[in-house]
Amino acid sequence: MKKKVLILSGGISKERLISLDTGLQVAKELKKNGYKVKVSEPNINLEKNIKNFKPDVIFNALHGQFGEDGYIQSILEKFKIPYTHSGIIASSIAMDKEISKKIFIKNKIRTPKFIVYPYDLSSSDIIKKINQKLKFPVVVKPINEGSSLNVHICNKKNIIKSLRSIKSYKKVIIEEFIGGREIQVAILGNKKLGAIELKPKRKFYDYQAKYNSNAKTQHIIPVDLPKNKLKDVLSMALKAHNVIGCDGVTRSDFKYFKGKFYLLEINTQPGLTKLSLVPEIAAYHGISFKALIEWILNNASKKKY
């Protein structure tokens, strides 16, 4: 008998629409293959939905804050029902760019140099600090946001304006800008699934480039890299997956510049939409969307409480 699957979708983050799309795609596939499926928002009715439906597995299709930062994971743990993707600690670490980058550095995984800006420095002081530690241009991004939301590439002229535009965040990361190629790597459990290269028409692979089909980002697979370089980036992604303590599927975002890979971040709940990269990488390596979703479910089912 096929499992009963509760899909968590939607939520209150800025990635709500992406989450709804992921949830819809997963639900369609599972229903098509005989699973009993219920889709639920992570709201006040969640506990009632879980108790009434009695799922065998919870498929976490949430993205962004409250969905992949350890928050919903801490709620799900109390139900003792297996749920997909990484657990509380790995999710919270991966979502926090400051902590995850410190772990990458400690484990000798190359990542762009950075400083944390907590909005307590004057305009002249932050420019002085950037000149001392990073040099312009730099990348400004929220410390705990996903999907390249509110990410800015800045020079000395627009840095203050960009920082003010995202002042609603308590802290932001300012990191050195690394040029070069966009390489994304998918990990499935302990398996190096594969890589894909992105050539966005926009300035960089931002939110619009990721989720707007009109943005015309070019997806290149297989990636044109020497075998030893491809092996290096796959190994870096698996190492990051393991040192953070991730479970299930992850996608790591790299820049390749002057023969070196730089890990930007690791995503513990990569999208599963029609424009998403992990399904595309899986398909290239002979894993259908159905097989990918079932692998994620079966992997979750192995969790013991």
Question: Could you give the residue numbers annotated as active site?
Answer: 15, 147, 211, 251, 253, 265, 267, 271
Longest alpha-carbon distance in the chain: 65
- Cβ partners under 8 Å of residue 176, min gap 6: 112, 113, 114, 134, 135, 138, 139
**DSSP per-residue letters across 164-184:** HHTTTSS-EEEEE---SEEEE
User: What gap in Å lies between CA 233 and CA 255, rounded to an integer?
Assistant: 10
* Cis, peptide link before residue 279, omega less than 30° from 0: no
Q: Do residues 59 and 26 touch, judged by C-beta distance below 8 A?
A: yes
User: What stretches of 209-296 adopt beta strand conformation (E)?
Assistant: 218-220, 249-257, 260-267
Q: Which residue has the tokens 């890589």?
A: 195
CA angle 181, 186, 188 (to 5 degrees): 165
Identify any residues that bridge with 4 across adjacent strands, giving them in sequence order. Answer: 36
User: What gap in Å lies between CA 227 and CA 73, rounded to an integer?
Assistant: 38
- Cβ partners under 8 Å of residue 168, min gap 6: none
How many DSSP H helices and E strands does the chain contain?
11, 12
